[in-house]
Amino acid sequence: MIVMKFGGTSVQDKAAVRRVIEIVGRETRPRLVVVSALSKVTDGLLEIARLAEQRDAVAAGKAVRALQVRHVELAGVVGAAELRATLLKELDATFAELAAMVGALGVVGEVSARSRDTIVATGEVASSRILAAALEDAGQPSRWLDPRELLVTDGTHGAALPDRAATDARLRANVQPQLEAGRVGVTGGFVGASAEGLTTTLGRGGSDYSAALFGAGLGAQEIQIWTDVDGMLTADPRVVEAPRVVSRLSFDEASELAYFGAKVLHPSTILPAVGSGIPVRILNSHRPEADGTWIARETARDAAGPAAIACKRGLTRIDIASTRMLMAYGFLRRVFEVFERYRTSVDVVTTSEVSVSVTIDDRRSLDAIVGELQAFADVTCEEAMAIVCAVGEALRSDARLATQVLGALEGLPLAMVSQGGSRKNVTVVLRDADVTEAMRRLHRRFFEAGPTTAERTALATA
């Protein structure tokens, strides 16, 4: 079986839902469909909770009705009168419950984390009900499965921790029989319930996490994350003209890239899947024929080069040279204690016997940090710096790649060079002004031999 997860934009309107129906219908394996709230709905529900908290019952009530109208409109995607009537009744009940709750909370003016979860869960409950009915309507026997009966969590409202064993038992009891009966299971992501039956949520963007937990629990063959981009790219399209889709990534590579803002999905959310050896595929619901990106625990990439390059801009470099403490142990500890005290995280570090250079992103405490460091070191800062980094498993096995990275950057002043301990990346720090040039050179060097993404898609769809 497989898990197919669709994000908020994949169900935002009728056209999007029709695309989902087609994608799910084309699949022949038994499948559990996991869906997010319609796009912007979770934000809207959080806003409703805020309005209730401010005792603005009128505005809260209005916002609830607006959300209801949007869902009812989308329910029009269901053609068969009887199916649609049932769906509308369900949606009515869901939103009546929400309105009653928001009305009551609006009087008290107090919204607990527990109440907020119940409010926010409405988004995934409603979207999954609509999708289940729409699939059934399209001739695909489906069964809506209440996410509060599948995902068992602890009681940490807003950031609940899943209870894997309890969830797996629920999956076996509630999902397995539906799949065996030839029905498509449809449920909402992000939402669960504690053992006591109180509604919980996993934290923003949690639907990917739900999909991974469900896939792991059901022993899925793969987990598909359907979104509105082609997958992970070889470089940020705002910096490099024609990045390509990375066809395969290891989990570690994906984690490195996520740190650089590859926002397609957060790797920690798919950890349950990857931990169980289940590959995760990122696919584009606008172009289902494209291959997307596979993420697996390990990946044997045929190409010997890096998987992708990435950059992070607007950093500050701090050079810290030991004076009195020359050669003394404890120097690094003293340095990093200062950063810790000011809760400032350090991105890249390079060291020598008598000095250490670091980059930081968050400059809020820079003056204070420098002040404290100066008590025992000479400190100089340089602003407008950036990290450029090549990521890939191959960097570990093929020492020549680091030389090639540096070679491609010849002539650009490099402030720091680091090959990580895991050696899955080579990182350089240079002036922000040189980032575009550096990224373009690296991209040309490692990725621009074959056809571009656009060309490959044209070939694939021709």
Residues that bind ligand ASP (CB under 6 A): 8, 36-37, 42, 123, 189-190, 204-207
Name the minimum Å distance from CB 42 to Mg ion.
10
How many C-beta neighbours within 10 Å does residue 174 have? 16
Token match 């009812």: residue?
72
Residue number with CB closer to ligand ASP (158 or 288): 158
- Hey, what are 43's tokens? 């934000």
Looking at residues 286 to 305 of the shown chain, list those that interact with Mg ion (rule: CB under 5 A): none
Strand partners, 425: 391
Selected range binding Mg ion among 49-57, 147-155, 199-207, 254-262, rule: CB under 5 A: 199-207
Using an 8 Å Cβ cutoff, are 415 and 317 in contact? yes
Q: Which does 162 bind (CB under 5 to 8 A by kind): ligand ASP, Mg ion, none?
A: none
How many Å apart are CA 325 and CA 395, to the nearest integer?
Answer: 35
Residue number with CB closer to ligand ASP (145 or 405): 145
Residue number with CB closer to ligand ASP (206 or 231): 206
Print the binding letters for residues 146-185 with Mg ion: x by CB under 5 A, - otherwise: ----------------------------------------
Residue number with CB closer to ligand ASP (32 or 37): 37
The secondary structure of the chain in percent helix, strand, coil, rounded to multiples of 5, reads 45, 20, 30
Residue number with CB closer to ligand ASP (228 or 362): 228
How many Å apart are CA 289 and CA 284, to the nearest integer?
Answer: 8
How many C-beta neighbours within 10 Å does residue 204 have? 13
Q: Does 228 bind Mg ion (CB under 5 A)?
A: no
Print the binding letters for residues 237-276 with Mg ion: x by CB under 5 A, - otherwise: ----------------------------------------
Q: Does 205 bind Mg ion (CB under 5 A)?
A: yes
How many Å apart are CA 408 and CA 453, to the nearest integer?
Answer: 23
User: What's at 212, amino acid-wise?
Assistant: A
Name the minimum Å distance from CB 8 to ligand ASP.
5
Q: Which does 106 bind (CB under 5 to 8 A by kind): Mg ion, ligand ASP, none?
A: none
Q: What is the DSSP letter of 233?
A: B
How many Å apart are CA 375 and CA 341, to the nearest integer?
Answer: 15
- Hey, what are 302's tokens? 């045929």
Using an 8 Å Cβ cutoff, are 376 and 338 in contact? no
How many Å apart are CA 41 and CA 122, to the nearest integer?
Answer: 9
Name the minimum Å distance from CB 409 to ligand ASP.
38
Q: Which does 189 bind (CB under 5 to 8 A by kind): ligand ASP, Mg ion, none?
A: ligand ASP
- Hey, what are 34's tokens? 């996991």
Name the minimum Å distance from CB 417 to ligand ASP.
38
Contact positions vs Mg ion (CB under 5 A): 7, 205
